[in-house]
Amino acid sequence: MKDEKLQQAFRSWTQLSQTPDEWLAYESRLKQVLDEEAAKRETELAIEESYERGQHKQDVYVTARLLNDKFPEGFPTVAGAQEYLQGVTSSETLDELRKIVVRVNTWAEAKQTLESKSL
């Protein structure tokens, strides 16, 4: 059938002619399909979120390592630098911090710049 209106009428007629049990079975199958699709999407979102959290942890570690390597007088341990960075939630901010650390030469200059950035 190529006539869309005729197809729609046939579908409507088929639905109307179903018994209550057939209609319930149809709705149950439809709900199952929709639930499976929703579960699949939730899984995809959870995987994305997990990846993003892992990437952020890696960014924090790299920045902390850079702080510790360049300014051990300010951050004697990588763990201490990570603790200092724990409030930073943006990858862009961490990227900016890495650029600052590379640009400055002394701990005093780094400390002043970091404080001006409200970290």
Confidence band for 118, pLDDT divided at 50, 70 and 90: low
What average pLDDT does the chain have? 85
What would the two tokens of residue 70 be?
A: 């360049």
Confidence band for 1, pLDDT divided at 50, 70 and 90: low
Q: Is the pLDDT of residue 71 over 80?
A: yes
Q: What pLDDT is recorded for position 23? A: 77
113: helix, strand or coil: helix
Q: What pLDDT is recorded for position 73? A: 92
- pTM here? 0.57
Q: Is the pLDDT of residue 110 over 60?
A: yes
Query: CB neighbours of 29 closer than 8 A, spacing ≥ 6?
Result: none
- Is 110 exposed, middle or buried (CB count within 10 Å of its CB: 0-12, 13-18, 19+)? buried
